[in-house]
Structure 1
Amino acid sequence: MASEALFDTVLRLTFDNGVNEKGEPVFKKKAFSNVKTQVNSDQLLMTAQAIAGLQTKPLTEVQRQDTKIITA
């Protein structure tokens, strides 16, 4: 039977960067690696909001990307 172990977590933030010449929304994304794998969603959201407070563009989305290792 296969087993899995959490290997890595990346915090991805998306910011509203205005609109292009066609009037379509433009987004800027930033990724933060080396995030502790045991953090919970509330902790990540608080971190994202703290980082967003240092930015000039408004935060539109917060994502957590987990990478797992699967072994036999």
Structure 2
Amino acid sequence: MLTRVREFLATQAELAQRQDLLNRPWEEDLLHWAFDGREWHLHGHLAPPPNRRRHSTTRSGWCPGLRTQPARKDETRQHR
């Protein structure tokens, strides 16, 4: 039971972080590594500010730019 509660809270935190990023679209321009579930991709073109706060991604590596990328050929085959 405790494990399920922790998983639920982790999912809620991830969703809140995603919503925060969607509310700050300018952060997508900052350089960051994003994880698409298979591999890491470098996104952005501006150096991030020198503070230690994570910009442009959630703790799991999701960023809004992943939503706009077209599906890969191997991913489309799995859905058929």
Q: Give the TM-score normalised by structure 2.
A: 0.26
Q: Give the TM-score normalised by structure 1.
A: 0.28
> Greater share of strand residues, 1 or 2?
1
